[in-house]
C-alpha cells in the first residue's frame, strides 16, 4: 500500500465523499486510514453501501479500480456485525479466484483491512502441500479465498464443506471461464446453500458471463467502472515496429534508459519469458521470469524482489497481467503483442495504478500487425507509432497486413515468438493464459477454454 497514492491520484480516481461517510465499523475505518486512503474510489463508493445492506452485486470492473477493498470492507463489516462462529471445516464466506497470485493478494487485503477484527481468514491454492491449508480449515474460518482446483480437492477429501456459507464471491469471472473453470464453478455453486449473499465480478460482460451471473444473482445492484475497452487515460502508449529477430536488441536498447526503473516485460509463452530473462541476464540487466511453470515459492519470491526494487525487470506471461498489484511500475513492455485484444488492456493496466502515470510500449513484428489493429479497435483510438528508435523497421510497418487468423496460424507454426515452435501448441493452448490454472491435479480442466468475446 502506498500512503502517497492519494496525493498523486487525480480527482477523477477518487470521489468527494470520505470513507467515514460509508458507515463502516470503526475497526475497519481505522485499518483503512492506516492504509493511507481517506476517500473511496468510485467503485468503492458505489458498491460498499448496497453490500453493507446485503444486496447481491454485479461488478464490471478490472483491477486497479480499488475493486478489492470495495468487496473486502463490506464483507468484513457484515461478518463482524452478524458474528457467529464458523463450525469446524466450514467457512462463512468464500472468494473464488482464477489464480494463486490473486488469491494471495485478496487474502492479504482481508488481513490488512480486518486486522482490528477477530475474524479468521485462510487461503488455499494448488502447487504447494495441502497440510497447512487443511490445518487452517480444521477449526472453521470466517473467510476463505481459494482457487477452484484445490478447493474441490479439499472438499472431496472432506476437509471442507460449504453447507453453512453466507457469502459467495466469484472474482474475475471472465478469466475463470477463459481458463476453463466453468465446470468447477458450476460444481461449487451446486454445493452452496440456496440462501446466500452473492457478489460477481468480471472485467468484461460477454453473453456467457452474463448468463452465469444471472444464474447466481438475485436482484443485484450493478456497478460498472472503467470498462475494459477504455484504456486507462493516464497510460502513455506507443507501438514500435521491429523485425522479429531484432526484438531482443530493441529491448536491450530501451532498457539502457534509467527511467525504465520498474518494468514488466510481457511474453506470450513461458519459454519466451525464460529466454528474454536469459538474454537480459547476459547483458547485465537484473530480471526474473514469472509464469505457470515456476513453483509457487519461486513466483512469490520473484514478485517480492520486484516489489521491493531488488529486481528491475519482471518478465511475465499473461497470468501476471491480472491480479498483480505492484505500485509504481514505470513501464509495461509488450515484447510480444497479445493476440487477444483485451489482454493488452489488462497488461498495460499494470502500470498507472490508482492514479499514477505509466508508459506502455508494444514491440510489433509483421505477423502481429493485425493484433495491433484489433487492439486499436477495442480501445477506440490509434496507438501512436514511435519511429525514433534505431530498430524501427519501415518494412515491418508497411508490410501487408495479415488476417488475424493467418497471423495466429503463422505464430502457432512456430514462426518466432518466444523462440521456436512450442510443443503441443494448438489454438486453444495459445488462447489460454500460461499457468496459474487449476490449482491442483486434474489436468483435464485446462482444456475447456471457452472463447472470449
Ligand atoms: P484493486 O483494484 O483492488 O487491485 O486496487 C488497486 C490499487 O488501488 C491497490 O494498490 C489498492 O491498494 C489501491 N487502493 C484501494 N483503495 C484505494 C483508495 N480508496 N484510494 C487510493 N488507492 C486505493
Task: Say yes or no: 330 and 197 in one domain.
Answer: no
Q: Is 354 in the pocket of ligand 1 (CB under 6 A)?
A: yes
Report d(CA 176, CA 402) in Å as an integer. 30
pLDDT at 232: 60
Average pLDDT over residues 132-140: 98
Percentage above 90 pLDDT, the chain: 57
Q: Is 326 in the pocket of ligand 1 (CB under 6 A)?
A: no
Q: Determine if the pTM surpasses 0.75.
A: no
Query: What confidence category does residue 415 fall into, taking pLDDT thresholds of 50, 70 and 90?
Result: low
Tell me how many domains the chain contains: 2
Q: Whose CA is nearest to atom 19 of ligand 1?
A: 40
Residue-number span of the structural domain to which 33 is assigned: 11-225
Domain boundary among 182, 204, 225: 225
- Do the domain assignments include residue 420? yes
64 Cα: distance to centroid of ligand 1 (angstroms): 6
CATH of the domain at 324: 3.40.50.300
pLDDT at 35: 92
121-141 b/e (C-beta count within 10 Å ≥ 16 → b): bbbbbbbbebeebeebbeebb
Q: In what order do the strands lie in the sheet with 57-60?
A: 121-124, 141-146, 91-96, 167-170, 197-202, 57-60, 221-224
Report d(CA 154, CA 180) in Å as an integer. 20
Report d(CA 206, CA 177) in Å as an integer. 11
Task: Say yes or no: 217 and 351 in one domain.
Answer: no
Report d(CA 111, CA 117) in Å as an integer. 9
- Do the domain assignments include residue 375? yes
Task: Say yes or no: 251 and 273 in one domain.
Answer: yes
- Do the domain assignments include residue 354? yes
Return the percent helix, strand and coil in the chain, to nearest 5: 45, 15, 40
- Do the domain assignments include residue 19? yes
- Do the domain assignments include residue 253? yes
pLDDT digits (tens, 9 = 90+) for 32-73: 999 988 889 889 999 999 999 999 999 988 777 889 999 999
- Do the domain assignments include residue 434? no
Task: Say yes or no: 219 and 254 in one domain.
Answer: no
Task: Say yes or no: 98 and 159 in one domain.
Answer: yes
Task: Say yes or no: 352 and 260 in one domain.
Answer: yes
Report H helices in 262-421. Answer: 270-282, 296-307, 341-348, 369-379, 394-398, 404-412
- Do the domain assignments include residue 450? no
* Start-to-end Cα distance in the chain: 33
Percentage above 70 pLDDT, the chain: 83
- Do the domain assignments include residue 411? yes
Longest Cα separation, the chain: 67
In the block, cell 491480472 appears at 322
Would you state the cell numbers that stand for residue 387, as one nine-digit string?
519511429
Task: Say yes or no: 208 and 332 in one domain.
Answer: no
Q: Whose CA is nearest to atom 23 of ligand 1?
A: 66
Report H helices in 207-324. Answer: 207-216, 247-255, 270-282, 296-307
Task: Say yes or no: 188 and 253 in one domain.
Answer: no
Q: Is 40 in the pocket of ligand 1 (CB under 6 A)?
A: yes
66 Cα: distance to centroid of ligand 1 (angstroms): 4
Task: Say yes or no: 411 and 306 in one domain.
Answer: yes
Q: Is 100 in the pocket of ligand 1 (CB under 6 A)?
A: no
Going by C-alpha positions, the residue among 316, 431, 351 that lies closest to residue 63 is 351
Going by C-alpha positions, the residue among 316, 392, 326 that lies closest to residue 358 is 326
Task: Say yes or no: 169 and 294 in one domain.
Answer: no
Amino acid at each position: 500500500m502506498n500512503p502517497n497514492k492519494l496525493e498523486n491520484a487525480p480527482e477523477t480516481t477518487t470521489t468527494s465523499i470520505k470513507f467515514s461517510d460509508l458507515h463502516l465499523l470503526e475497526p475497519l475505518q481505522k485499518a483503512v486510514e492506516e492504509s493511507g486512503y481517506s476517500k473511496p474510489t468510485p467503485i468503492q463508493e458505489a458498491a460498499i453501501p448496497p453490500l453493507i445492506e446485503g444486496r447481491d452485486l454485479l461488478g464490471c470492473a478490472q483491477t486497479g479500480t480499488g475493486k478489492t477493498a470495495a468487496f473486502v470492507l463490506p464483507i468484513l463489516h457484515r461478518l463482524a456485525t452478524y458474528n457467529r462462529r464458523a463450525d469446524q471445516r466450514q467457512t462463512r464466506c468464500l472468494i473464488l479466484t482464477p489464480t494463486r497470485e490473486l488469491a494471495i493478494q485478496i487474502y492479504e487485503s482481508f488481513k490488512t483491512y480486518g486486522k482490528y477484527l477477530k475474524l479468521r481468514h485462510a487461503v488455499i491454492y494448488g502447487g504447494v502441500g495441502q497440510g497447512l491449508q487443511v490445518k487452517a480449515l480444521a477449526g472453521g474460518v470466517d473467510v476463505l479465498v481459494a482457487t477452484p482446483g484445490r478447493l474441490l480437492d479439499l472438499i472431496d477429501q472432506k476437509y471442507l464443506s460449504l453447507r453453512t456459507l453466507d457469502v459467495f464471491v466469484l472474482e474475475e469471472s471472465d478469466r475463470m471461464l477463459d481458463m476453463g473453470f466453468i465446470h468447477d464453478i458450476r460444481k461449487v455453486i451446486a454445493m452452496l446453500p440456496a440462501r446466500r449473499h452473492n457478489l460477481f465480478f468480471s472485467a468484461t460482460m460477454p453473453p456467457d458471463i452474463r448468463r452465469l451471473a444471472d444464474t447466481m444473482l438475485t436482484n443485484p445492484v450493478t456497478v460498472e467502472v472503467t470498462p475494459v475497452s477504455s484504456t486507462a487515460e493516464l497510460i502513455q502508449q506507443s507501438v514500435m515496429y521491429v523485425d522479429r529477430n531484432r526484438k531482443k536488441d530493441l529491448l536491450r536498447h530501451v532498457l539502457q534508459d534509467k527511467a525504465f526503473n520498474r518494468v514488466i516485460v510481457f511474453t506470450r509463452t513461458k519459454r519466451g519469458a525464460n529466454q528474454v530473462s536469459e538474454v537480459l541476464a547476459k547483458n547485465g540487466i537484473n530480471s526474473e521470469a514469472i509464469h505457470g511453470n515456476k513453483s509457487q515459492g519461486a513466483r512469490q519470491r520473484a514478485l517480492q524482489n520486484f516489489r521491493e526494487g531488488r529486481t528491475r525487470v519482471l518478465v511475465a506471461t499473461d497470468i501476471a497481467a491480472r491480479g498483480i498489484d505492484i505500485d509504481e511500475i514505470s513501464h509495461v513492455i509488450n515484447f510480444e503483442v497479445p493476440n487477444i485484444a483485451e489482454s493488452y488492456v489488462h497488461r498495460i493496466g499494470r502500470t498507472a495504478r490508482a492514479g499514477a502515470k505509466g508508459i506502455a510500449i508494444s514491440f510489433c513484428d509483421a505477423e502481429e500487425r493485425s493484433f495491433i489493429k484489433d487492439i486499436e479497435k477495442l480501445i477506440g483510438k490509434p496507438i501512436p507509432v514511435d519511429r525514433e528508435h534505431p530498430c524501427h523497421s519501415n518494412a515491418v510497418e508497411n508490410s501487408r497486413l495479415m488476417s488475424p487468423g493467418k497471423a495466429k496460424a503463422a505464430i502457432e507454426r512456430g514462426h518466432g515468438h518466444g523462440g521456436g515452435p512450442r510443443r503441443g501448441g494448438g489454438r486453444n493452448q495459445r488462447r489460454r493464459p500460461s499457468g496459474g490454472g487449476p490449482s491442483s491435479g486434474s489436468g483435464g480442466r485446462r482444456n475447456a477454454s471457452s472463447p472470449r468475446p
